[in-house]
Amino acid sequence: MLLYWKPVADKMMDDQKRKVSEYFPMKNKFLAILFFWDNGSSKVYVRKKQQYGTDIWLETRIFWQDEWVVWNRENVIELIEKLNKNDDCVWVIAQLPLPKELNDYKNEILSAIDPTKDVDGLWWTLVWKSFFDMLSFTPATPKAVMSLLDYYDLGNLKCKKVAIIWQSTIVWKPLALECLKRGAEIACFDVNNTPWEIKSYTKHADYIFSATGQIHLIDESYIWENKNQIVVDVWYGHKDWKAVWDVNIEKVEDKVLHLTPVPWGVGPLTIASLFSNVFDLREEFHVKTTSFSWKGKE
């Protein structure tokens, strides 16, 4: 069975439209995306975020690199501090990757964002507080994965063997934490592992999450013969200017129980999940003011 994203995203969008009207009735609130260079892939992703905001009636303002502003550490931090103090700004995200001249200051830039507005969760305060049940928060990519599984009643990971094959730290760490919270036994692999090491685990795993960007990495040689596994493709690479995903769907589809299709699987769901975090943080830090403090639940 193929696990399609659209019914999950449609359900999220309906809920988000309702919450926009409920939480932001004055229509003056906005989301801020800080995008400091002309990276083609990031530009497409940023435009999709802006369009999604429009679709749920929530303004998204993009702070672009342009000829009038030369972004450096000082004025980026200054901009973030202004947005932190602006009550009309409900969300701040620094679009990654950062340009070379800012990359050395990445941790400082990310940590400057007010945690109550950090919907991406790229600074680890929110992720760790969530792991210790001090608040409810999941970064966009693992949230998209788990929302997809939950929609199809596949989200119970208790005592399940989960293999996470990864390249990007910002994906696998929060994904691994979310699996642990759900009671899974996990093993994580990267480019330092041999194919034999990875296959020796994936062949006996209940779930395989692949997020490497390595084209068609996962084929039938990674799959157990019992046709009872669930394979989730999270990332992609490029071939001939087209997106090509980790899983070779033609080789795998008939050998597993459930599989995310490409390109209609997890990818598009990450934006809907990102916007869900706007409302999750709103509920934690504004709606639940009588029962929650930033130091922890009373």
Any domain includes 122? no
Residues 147 and 240 in one domain: yes
Question: In whole angstroms, what is the distance from residue 121 CA to residue 171 CA?
Answer: 11
The boundaries of the domain holding residue 109 are 9-114
- CA dist., res. 263 & res. 292, Å (int): 40
Q: Same structural domain for residues 89 and 194?
A: no
Domain co-membership, 245 together with 149 = yes
Examine residue 237 and state whether it is found in any structural domain, yes or no.
Answer: yes
Domain match, 184 and 218 both: yes
Q: Please check whether residues 153 and 99 belong to one and the same domain.
A: no
Which candidate, 65, 133, 115, places its Cα nearest to that of 95?
A: 65
Does residue 279 fall inside a structural domain? no
Of 50, 29, 46, the residue nearest 96 (C-alpha): 46
Dihedral (Cα; 276, 278, 282, 285), 10-degree rounding = 110
Mean pLDDT taken over the chain: 86
Same domain, 107 and 39: yes
Instruction: CATH number of the domain at 226, please.
Output: 3.40.50.720
Which SS3 state, helix, strand or coil, does residue 67 take? Answer: coil
99 lies in the same domain as 164: no
pLDDT digits (tens, 9 = 90+) for 137-160: 888 889 999 999 999 999 999 999
pLDDT tens by residue, 167-204: 777 788 889 999 999 999 999 998 789 999 999 999 99
80 and 180 within one domain: no
Tell me the pTM. Answer: 0.86
Confidence of residue 40 (pLDDT cuts 50, 70, 90): confident
Give 237's strand partners.
244
Q: How many domains is the chain built from?
A: 2
Residue 251 included in any domain: yes
pLDDT-derived band at 236 (thresholds 50, 70, 90) equals low
Which of 99, 114, 129 corresponds to the end of one domain? 114
Average pLDDT for residues 28-33, to the nearest whole number? 92
- Do 32 and 108 have their domain in common? yes
Q: What is the CATH number of the domain that holds 87?
A: 3.40.50.10860
Question: How many residues are given for the chain?
Answer: 298
Whether residue 145 lies inside any domain: the answer is yes
Cα 229–chain centre separation: 23
Q: Is 126 within a domain?
A: no
Same domain, 167 and 254: yes
In contact, 115 and 141? CB cutoff 8 Å: no
Top pLDDT among 292 and 174 is at 174
Gyration radius from the chain CA atoms: 20
**38-54: burial string, b at 16+ Cβ within 10 Å, e else:** ebeebeebbeebbebbe
**Whether the Cβ atoms of residue 50 and residue 58 lie closer than 8 Å to each other:** no
Task: Determine the pLDDT at residue 153.
Answer: 97
- What integer pLDDT is reported at residue 65 of this predicted model? 65
One domain for residues 60 and 24: yes
Residue 130 lies in a domain: no
Kindly report, residue by residue over 249-276, the tens digit of the pLDDT.
Answer: 888 889 999 998 776 668 778 999 999 9
